Amino acid sequence: MRFRSHLFFLTGLWAGFTFIKLCVYYVPERGHLPTIHSSNGVAGNSHREKRLHLHPEEDGGGAAKLARKVRVLCWVMTVPKNLKTRTQHVRATWTQHCDKVLFMSSVNETSFPTVGLNVKEGRDQLYWKTIRAFQYIHQNHFEDADWFLKADDDTYVVLENLRYLLSKHDTEEPVYFGRRFHPFVRQGYMSGGAGYVLSREALRRFISGFATGKCTHTSPIEDLALGRCMEIMKVKAGDSRDASKRETFHAFPPEKHVVRKIPSKRSWYLSYDYYPTLEGPGCCSDLSVSFHYVPPKLMYELEYYTYHLRPYGYRYRFDPELAKRKLNHTSP
Amino acid sequence: MKMLSEGSSFLKGLLLGALFCLLLSLLGSLSSEPQPNTEHGDDHGDDHHHHHIKAPSKEELQRMPEDLRMQLSQNVRVYCAIMVQPKILNFWATAKDTWSKHCDKAVFYTSESAKALEAVDLQEKDEWPKIRKALKHAFENAGDLRWFFLARATTFAIIENLKHLLLIKDSSQAFYMGNVVKAGELEYVEYDSGIVFSYETLRQLVRIFNDEERCPERGRALWKLSEEKELALCLKYTGVYAENGEDSRGKGLFNKKSVSALISEGLAKSPSNVVENCCPDLAVTFGGMSPNQMQVMMFGVYRLRPYGHIYHDSLIFMPPEGSDND
C-alpha cells in the first residue's frame, strides 16, 4: 500500500514538473506592441498625422501646431509627359505634406489629377503657365491657404521648414520668399527651380498687376519676369536665410552645395546669389526648405534622410530658437 | 479511503514537482544573457534559431534609471579601424572629414604609405593579412575602448546608432556582429556592411592568429576564400559566432549597399511605400558610398530635419568637438 502511494506521489511530482516546464517554455514571447504606422493611409488615421508623416515614437506636437497656423497651398509646374516619370513621385513624397496640392499642366488629367491651364507646352510658355496658374488659384483656392508655393516637378520641398520660416511673417504683408538671385531686378528675384512662396497680399497684387496692365508678359523667363512684376507691385523680396544666415532654398541638389570643393573661379551658378555664397557646411541650413534638379530617386532618398534616418539621441548643434534669442540679445 | 490517500499523494507530488520546476526556471532566467559559445552547439544546423542582436526597445530603456542610462551611454565607446589605400585618397579624406569623427578613436590603416595620407602603414597589399594586422594593432592600441568597428573606406557608419545597439551588451562576451550571410554551413558577417567586435572577441582572435594551422596568415592556400570567410573560420575555431545586428523590430541595420542603390531596388520592386520598405530609421551602416554621397549623408543624417518633429530618446550623444559639418 505504501508502495502505491509512493507511486502516485512520484507520478504527481513528474506531472507537476512537466506541466510547469511546458508552460514556461512554450508560452509565446510577449508580442510586439502594434505599430501605429500612420503614414500609410490606413483607414481611420487623421489627415494631420498622414501629412506630418509621423513615427509611433515621435512627437510631432510642434509641427502640428505650426501646420494649423500656416496653411500652404503647393502648386507644381508639370507637363503631361512627366506624369509617370517624375510627377507621380512628387505626388508620393513631399507634396503629401502640403495642405493642398495642385499639379498644373496644359492638359486636364482627372485621374492624376492635373489642372489643365489654357497654355501650350514649351520653355517659352513657362511664364504664361505661371500667370495662368496663379490666376486659377486666386479664382478657385484663395481661401484655402495662407501662403502659395510654386515648385517644379524636380523640386524637393520640406514643408515643415517652410512653415517654420513663414510663421515669422504676416501673410497680409506684400512679401515673397525663395532663393534670392540678382542682378536683373534691383531688389532681387527668386529662383524658379528652387521654388518660391507668395503671401496672400503678394498673390492679390500679382493678380491685380495683370488685371490692370501694370504687369505684362515681359519675358518667358518665369522667375525673372515674376520678380519684375513683384517689384513693380511693391511686393518685397524677402530674406529666407535662417538665424545663422544660411540659405534655406537651394537651386541645386544637396551634393552640389554641401560638398567641400577647392576654391575655384566662381562658376556661373554661384554668381546669381543675392547674398554671399557659402560652400561646404555653411551652404545650407539644417532646416533647409528646398532643393532643385532632384530626380525621382533622389526625392525618395531625401524623404528618407529628412523624415526617417537619424542618429539616436543626437543633440543637434543648430537650435533655431536659441540662435534667434542670441540674435535678439545682441541687436541694439 | 485508499483512493483518497493515493489522490492526496498524487496531489502532493504534483505541487512539489511544479514548485521545483518553477524554482529551476527562475534560477535559469536570472543567469542573464545567452552565452554564444555554449548555446550554438545545440543550434548547429537549425536555421530557425538565427543569431541576432537586437537594439534595446524604448520600453527597455525607459525602465532603466536615468543615471544608469547615462553611465551606459558614456561607457560604450568605439574604436574605428578603417581600411584605406593611397589610390583612394579621396575616400580617406572624406571618411576623416565625415562619419569617423563620431568614433571615440578612428584609425586608418593603409597598404602602403603615401604623402598626405595619415594612416598606419601596414606594408601589406593582400586584404586578409592586412585585416589581421589592423585588428592586432587595434587590439594593442585599444586603451580603454572595448568595442571595435572594422570598415572599408566605402562604408559610412552612424556611430550613435551603433552605440544604441551595443548599449546593454557586454564587451567581455565573445561575439562579432554585422549583416550575417550564410554560405553553406558557414555563417559570416559581411565585410562590406562593416564588422563589429567585442573586446573579448578581438582578444581571442589575436590569440588564434598565432595558430598557423587553424588560422593561416595568408589565408587558406588550397581554395581562395574572401576575407570575411577567413575571419569567420578563424573565429569559429574559438567558438565565436556571427550575430546579425537588428533594430527592435528585427530589421537589419547593416547594409552593404548605399541608400541610393536600395531606393532604386525598392522602386523597381514596388513603387508604393518606397521609403518605408527601404531602410530602418536607426540604420548603422551603408556601403558602396562615393565620397560625395558620404558628404550628402553627413548633412542628411546630422543636420537636415523637419522642424517640429521631436523624438524623446532615452540617451544623449553630444556632437564631436572641432567639427562643423554635423
The pLDDT confidence band at residue A31, using thresholds 50, 70 and 90, is very low
Cβ-proximal residues to A215 (8 Å cutoff; 6+ apart), any chain: A206, A209, A228, A229, A232, A233
Instruction: Round to whole Å and give the CA distance between A72 and A51.
Output: 12
pLDDT digits (tens, 9 = 90+) for B70-102: 888 889 999 999 999 998 999 999 999 999 999
Instruction: Round to whole Å and give the CA distance between B148 and B199.
Output: 7
Q: Do A314 and B259 touch (CB under 8 A)?
A: no
Q: What are phi and psi of A269, to 5 degrees?
A: -75, -20
For B6, the closest chain A residue by CA position comes to: A5
CA distance B34 to chain A (A): 15
CA distance A98 to chain B (A): 13
Q: How many other β-carbons are positioned within 10 Å of the β-carbon of residue B125? A: 10
Which of B1-10, B29-38, B150-159, B243-252 has the least mean pLDDT? B29-38
Q: Using CA of residue A27, residue A28, residue A34, residue A35, what is the dihedral sign?
A: positive
Q: Do B15 and A12 touch (CB under 8 A)?
A: yes
CA distance B157 to chain A (A): 10
Question: Which residue is listed with cell 546669381?
Answer: A272
Q: Do A306 and B300 touch (CB under 8 A)?
A: yes
pLDDT digits (tens, 9 = 90+) for A284-315: 999 999 999 999 999 999 999 999 999 999 99
For A65, the closest chain B residue by CA position comes to: B308
Q: Do B296 and A313 touch (CB under 8 A)?
A: no
For A254, the closest chain B residue by CA position comes to: B296
Would you call A249 exposed, middle or buried from its count of C-beta atoms within 10 A (0-12, 13-18, 19+)?
buried
| Three-class SS state of B242 | strand
Residues of A in contact with B159 (CB under 8 A): 311
| Whether the Cβ atoms of residue B184 and residue B225 lie closer than 8 Å to each other | no
CA distance B248 to chain A (A): 9
Residues of B in contact with A8 (CB under 8 A): 6-7, 9-10, 13
Mean pLDDT of B198-211: 95
CA distance A285 to chain B (A): 8
Q: Do B307 and A255 touch (CB under 8 A)?
A: no
Residue A48 has pLDDT above 80, yes or no: no
Helical H segments across B31-126, by residue range: 36-43, 58-63, 66-75, 89-97
Cβ-proximal residues to A21 (8 Å cutoff; 6+ apart), any chain: B21, B25
Q: Please report the pLDDT score of residue B4 as a whole number.
A: 73
Residue A29 has pLDDT above 80, yes or no: no
Q: Do B309 and A281 touch (CB under 8 A)?
A: no
Residues of A in contact with B21 (CB under 8 A): 16-21, 24
Note the Cα B114 to chain centre separation in Å.
Answer: 31
pLDDT digits (tens, 9 = 90+) for A146-205: 999 999 999 999 999 999 999 999 999 999 999 999 989 999 999 999 999 999 999 999
Q: Please report the pLDDT score of residue A128 as a whole number.
A: 94
Residues of A in contact with B116 (CB under 8 A): none
Q: Please report the pLDDT score of residue A35 as a whole number.
A: 29
**Which member of B10, B58, B308 has the closest CB to residue A9?**
B10
Q: Please report the pLDDT score of residue A323 as a whole number.
A: 63
Instruction: Round to whole Å and give the CA distance between B52 and B244.
Output: 4
The residue among A159, A310, A315 with the most chain B CBs within 10 A of its CB, best to mutate, is A310
Reading the block at residue B135, the C-alpha cell is: 585588428
Is the reported ipTM for this assembly greater than 0.95?
Answer: no
Kindly state the greatest CA–CA separation across chain B: 98
CA distance B254 to chain A (A): 13
pTM of the full structure: 0.82
Concatenated DSSP letters for A93-159?
Answer: TGGGGSSEEEEEESS-BTTTTBEE-S---SGGGHHHHHHHHHHHHHHHSGGG-SEEEEEETT-EE-H
Q: Do B307 and A313 touch (CB under 8 A)?
A: no
Instruction: Round to whole Å and give the CA distance between B15 and B275.
Output: 55
Instruction: Round to whole Å and give the CA distance between A270 and B47.
Output: 57
Residues of A in contact with B317 (CB under 8 A): 311-315
Residues of B in contact with A86 (CB under 8 A): none
Mean pLDDT of A112-137: 94
Average pLDDT, chain B: 89
CA distance B47 to chain A (A): 19
Residues of B in contact with A32 (CB under 8 A): 249
Instruction: Round to whole Å and give the CA distance between A73 and A152.
Output: 14
Instruction: Round to whole Å and give the CA distance between A323 and B91.
Output: 34
pLDDT digits (tens, 9 = 90+) for A255-284: 999 987 655 555 555 568 999 888 789 999
Q: Do B279 and A5 touch (CB under 8 A)?
A: no
pLDDT exceeding 70 applies to what percent of chain B?
92
